[in-house]
Amino acid sequence: MSSADRPGQKPASGRGLRSLTILRTVVRYRLDTLVAPYAPERLRWLFRISPLNLVPQGSRSRGERLKLALSELGPVFIKFGQLLSTRRDLIPLDIADELAELQDAVPPFPGHTARSLVADALEREFDSVFSSFQDAPMASASIAQVHPATLTSGENVVVKVVRPDIESVIAADLALLTGLARWLDENVDIFRPLHLPDIVADYRTTIFDELDMRKEAANTERLRENFAGSELLYVPRVHHALSRTNVLVLERIYGIPISDMATLRSRGTDMKKLAERGVETFFTQVFEHNFFHADMHPGNIFVNVDDPADPSYIAIDCAIIGRLSREDQDYLAKNLLAFFNRDYAQVARLHLESGWIPEETDPDAFEQVIREVCEPIFAKPLNEISFGHFLVQLFQAAREFNMEVQPQLVLLQKTLLYIEGLGRELYPQLDLWETAKPFMEEWMVEHVGPAAALREVAAHAGELLERLPELPAAILTAETRLKSLERNLRNQTRELKRLEERVARGAKGRILTRVSGASLLALAGLLLFNPLSEALTGGAGISASAGVASALLGSLLLLRA
């Protein structure tokens, strides 16, 4: 991908037109009403006098309006909405339910365009590589589409081709989404625990990785190697010699889509084993390989039922991969086992040690809240407990203690929710706890405890021996270093106080700007009453539409200032 395709390289005129499109969509679906109830009191009056109030909301629910708006805005917003739908602990459930229905499917681009893109990427005559190529794609999404083909060697393959010119569209949208995330984080309290700027930054990396088929090829190859010879999961072979930045050629697989429950049952598939293997596959990827497929929605999962009594999974589309640090793995494993064992005091300690809740939190009070959430849930038979629902309730309770979202765990939680939902659909009596607990206990024996500590010491014995002569001097100078750190901390505290005073003085200077912004909003409401209605119904010309969008954009800029 060239530097011109990266965020910030889009021509200003393109960004401006895209901004107008987004603003028009915000107006049409009255998305301001989603933010207004959660805005701080100092900003709510701006929403009350906004000219957007002249536009009726219609009969659609707020979740449906948001879903339709994101669908219209394209791939970046669709995928971000899908990601937000997994944060049911932090966004209203009615909105989460609607966002979960977002479909990443768009009309295909022409088959002859796909052929041309493939030929250009391979720098070879098309017919010298493929003996057949179906122009009608078997799948079409916002990033790429997939065509069945046959190599001249006779092997059946699928060819994944990135949409032409999609990079510049995504770059422009990400720049706007980044600005919106920052504004919401700074001005709307309910969004602050979400760490939206961090999530968008991670999302930026994820979506640009999706555009690079070489990275997907590498992910696919590694996942294939991790499960080589496994009875749990099969991953198709990559044709590396035919894969480029915008083209990926894979072995074609023939399985039953996981969503086709009727066919699976008609073939006599052991649904209990299939559901349990899904859970085992997830925990193997997260805790054994630390490399997990993070986009395991039904469209990416197939089932091999050559032996219905011994079914296995087939995974495709490895563009989005998740990893955890060793620290996150340890804390996650310990937390899960503590929950399995109902050791709520341990859960509270772990959350404090990991920094997931503020250090000034009363551990006894936090433990009591966790107990109040968990005990009614554990009163049910284990196979009736939804682990995903349990996590949602737990995180909602933890918000009382200002528990912050951990962006590195967002993909993990999304995948876990997918896996449990899929498992329960396959086999409603699935006991996720019974299936996962032995796996977690074995992992803890291998990675935590005396035996694991001895292995770590043995692995670093040479380095420890080299550092041993430095130990006496380090002990003797420790007190001096601590005093130096204390002095630095006091100096930094004084500087922070001075900075706060300067910021407070600057805030007074912004009062005039805010008054100007309010005047602009009121004036826009008076002048644009008729043009606004006509622009939204398509009855006005481009000048009226531009006037509406310009007034809105100017107001937002003043508000941000």
pLDDT at 392: 66
The pair of structure tokens assigned to 317 is 């589309």
Most confident of 116-130, 357-371, 527-541: 116-130
pLDDT at 204: 84
Span 513-538, mean pLDDT? 55
The yes-or-no verdict on residue 350 having pLDDT over 50 is yes
Span 458-484, mean pLDDT? 67
Q: Among residues of the chain, what percentage have pLDDT more than 70?
A: 71
- DSSP annotation of 288 reads I
Rounded Cα distance, 137 and 117, in Å: 14
476 or 106, which is more confident: 106
pTM confidence score: 0.68
| CA distances from residue 495 to 230, 254, 485, 498, 509 in whole angstroms, order as listed | 58, 65, 15, 5, 22
The yes-or-no verdict on residue 371 having pLDDT over 60 is yes
* Amino acid found at 136: A
440 or 410, which is more confident: 440
Which residues fall within 8 angstroms of residue 378, CB to CB, at 6 or more apart?
342, 385
* Contact present, 283 and 438 (Cβ < 8 Å): no
The yes-or-no verdict on residue 9 having pLDDT over 50 is no
- Assign 554 a pLDDT band (cuts: 50, 70, 90): low
Span 36-64, mean pLDDT? 77
Residue by residue, DSSP assigns 386-400 as -HHHHHHHHHHHHGG
The yes-or-no verdict on residue 226 having pLDDT over 50 is yes
Rounded Cα distance, 263 and 258, in Å: 9
| CA distances from residue 61 to 33, 37, 111, 114 in whole angstroms, order as listed | 11, 15, 38, 39
Number of neighbouring beta carbons within 10 Å of residue 326: 9
309 or 355, which is more confident: 309
* Contact present, 110 and 135 (Cβ < 8 Å): yes
Strands 312-315 and 233-234: parallel
pLDDT at 7: 37
The pair of structure tokens assigned to 52 is 């957007």
Span 402-416, mean pLDDT? 68
Span 112-137, mean pLDDT? 94
Span 253-275, mean pLDDT? 92
Number of neighbouring beta carbons within 10 Å of residue 408: 14
Rounded Cα distance, 247 and 240, in Å: 10
Average pLDDT, the chain: 78
Tokens 């009855």, located at residue: 539
pLDDT at 76: 79
Span 146-167, mean pLDDT? 95
Q: Write down the domain spans for the chain.
A: 9-104+178-209, 105-164+212-252, 266-480, 511-560
pLDDT at 11: 44
Q: Computed from CA positions of residues 253, 254, 259, 265, in that sequence, does the dihedral angle turn out positive or negative?
A: negative
pLDDT at 240: 95
Rounded Cα distance, 378 and 381, in Å: 7
Span 337-343, mean pLDDT? 80
372 or 124, which is more confident: 124
- DSSP annotation of 404 reads P
pLDDT at 305: 94
pLDDT at 163: 92
The yes-or-no verdict on residue 157 having pLDDT over 90 is yes
* Contact present, 287 and 443 (Cβ < 8 Å): yes
* Amino acid found at 183: W
Span 42-71, mean pLDDT? 81
pLDDT at 337: 79
Span 353-365, mean pLDDT? 80
What distance lies between CA 119 and its chain's CA centroid? 33
For 139-143, 399-403, 534-538, which range has the lowest pLDDT when averaged over its residues?
A: 534-538
The pair of structure tokens assigned to 10 is 């889009």
Among 293, 303, 294, which Cα is nearest to 260's? Answer: 303
The yes-or-no verdict on residue 544 having pLDDT over 60 is no
| 105-164+212-252 CATH pick, 3.30.200.20, 3.40.50.450, 3.50.50.100, 3.30.70.141 | 3.30.200.20
Rounded Cα distance, 135 and 149, in Å: 9
Label residue 230 exposed, middle or buried (CB < 10 Å: 0-12, 13-18, 19+): middle
Residue numbers annotated as active site: 295
- Assign 49 a pLDDT band (cuts: 50, 70, 90): confident
- DSSP annotation of 238 reads B
The yes-or-no verdict on residue 5 having pLDDT over 90 is no
